[in-house]
Amino acid sequence: MVEISGTAKPRFAAVKDAFAANFAAGEELGARFTVVEAGEVVVDIWAGHADRARTRPWDARTLCPIFSTGKAIAATLVAQLVDQGKLSYEQTVAAVWPEFAQAGKAAITVEQAMSHQAGLSGFPGRMDPADWFDWDLICARLAAMAPLWPPGTASGYHPLTFGYLAGELFRRVDGRRMGQALREDLAQPFGLDLWFGLPDSEFGRVAEVQRPGALPDFGHRNPATVAAFLTPWAQPGGRGPEALRRADIPSASGHATAEALARLMGALAADGWLDGADILSPAVIGEAARERIRGPDLVLPFEMSWGAGFMRNETVHAWGPGNQTFGHSGWGGSCAFADPERKLGGAYVMNRQSAELLDDARPRRLIEAAYGGL
């Protein structure tokens, strides 16, 4: 039987049982699950190993790659600019990034770019996978690229390019890369173990990822999906895992603990209050989470409801029963969510990836058990 570390209030005993059952079924290598209710950490448990050889136990300092779950952090950073009056969701991307107006993209708004409507889900033309490590090069290509579908007519998930679109918008307005802003504005002031661009000094506590044995099933093979996921250059490559850890790519290279993610999402669920400070106004949280588009996604094989960078639970029901719940999931199973109706934030991270695109059964069991304890 797996040894579970951490704490959970007695009314959440079923969460520990579900966590143990995931390990007993052989579905986990190492994992952590955290729930924050009205600003209080009520569940924070971890177990298993941080390495594939099972020699390094998972502990409270283990950092986990979170892949697209980092988009929830990126969406929060953009929302802070909106809250400061430096950016609006309704203005055009080209208003702050003039080069983006090329190839018929002058009318694309910030909210369309943030809700995967820009038609830039990936690059159809052949490229070196190492090009993803050159921020300016990728942003120049996105600025010059013609959309793969008419912007604003449908969503098509931008798995990697989202990070460059959101990150360059942020940089053009704020002057900093997202990784620096994350450290200076959220991580360091509030003790949140969240990173875009991991320094070498933290490498020793990163969990090794065990890749899934199969590819996700997209259910279709259209140009938007192929560009997003199915080309040899759809993901960064050619420079080894250390380069990806160091890279400040908000859509792909984030690292975090479940506790840090849950505390951030818990703040978004509780009117923006984090440890007695206001990190976002309730009005802007509502704007960030508000539905921008709903319907069959051109890339993901689901009907999606998108906010300004956030997945909305109303169509996917991945994070409990709340229709107002929002968050993001990442490749392999990680997720982070905020439920403003119950002032609940939660996060799950792990290093044994599944092939599920969105609705991984492991966090679903934990989240259902957590709601049972409310």
The verdict on whether 201 is a catalytic residue reads no
13-23 average pLDDT score: 98
Would you place residue 216 in the very low, low, confident or very high pLDDT band (cuts 50, 70, 90)? confident
Would you place residue 325 in the very low, low, confident or very high pLDDT band (cuts 50, 70, 90)? very high
pLDDT at residue number 359: 82
pLDDT at residue number 19: 98
Look up residue 265 and give its two tokens.
């999402």
306-328 average pLDDT score: 96
Helix (H, G, I), strand (E, B) or coil at 101: helix
- In angstroms, the CA 335 to CA 103 distance is 35
48, 28 contact by CB (below 8 A)? yes
pLDDT at residue number 357: 84
Would you place residue 2 in the very low, low, confident or very high pLDDT band (cuts 50, 70, 90)? very high
- Which residue out of 68, 121, 155, 251 is catalytically annotated? 68
Cα atoms in the 13 Å half-sphere on the side-chain side of 121:
25
Q: Judge whether residue 315 has pLDDT over 80.
A: yes
pLDDT at residue number 215: 77
In the chain, % of residues over pLDDT 70: 100
C-alpha to C-alpha distances, 63 to 49, 51, 143, 185, nearest whole angstrom = 12, 12, 34, 20
Helix (H, G, I), strand (E, B) or coil at 327: strand
56-79 average pLDDT score: 98
pLDDT tens digits, one per residue of 252-301: 999 999 999 999 999 999 999 999 999 999 999 999 999 999 999 999 99
Mean pLDDT, the chain, rounded, equals 97
132-158 average pLDDT score: 98
Q: Which pTM value belongs to this model?
A: 0.98
In the chain, % of residues over pLDDT 90: 95
289-317 average pLDDT score: 97
pLDDT tens digits, one per residue of 157-212: 999 999 999 999 999 999 999 999 999 999 999 999 999 999 999 999 999 999 99
> E strand or H helix at 346, and its extent?
strand 344-350
pLDDT tens digits, one per residue of 224-248: 999 999 999 999 999 999 999 999 9
Q: Please give the distance of CA 32 from its chain centroid, rounded to a whole number.
A: 16
Would you place residue 219 in the very low, low, confident or very high pLDDT band (cuts 50, 70, 90)? confident
pLDDT at residue number 170: 98
What value, to the nearest 5°, has the Cα angle with vertex 231 and ends 228 and 237?
95
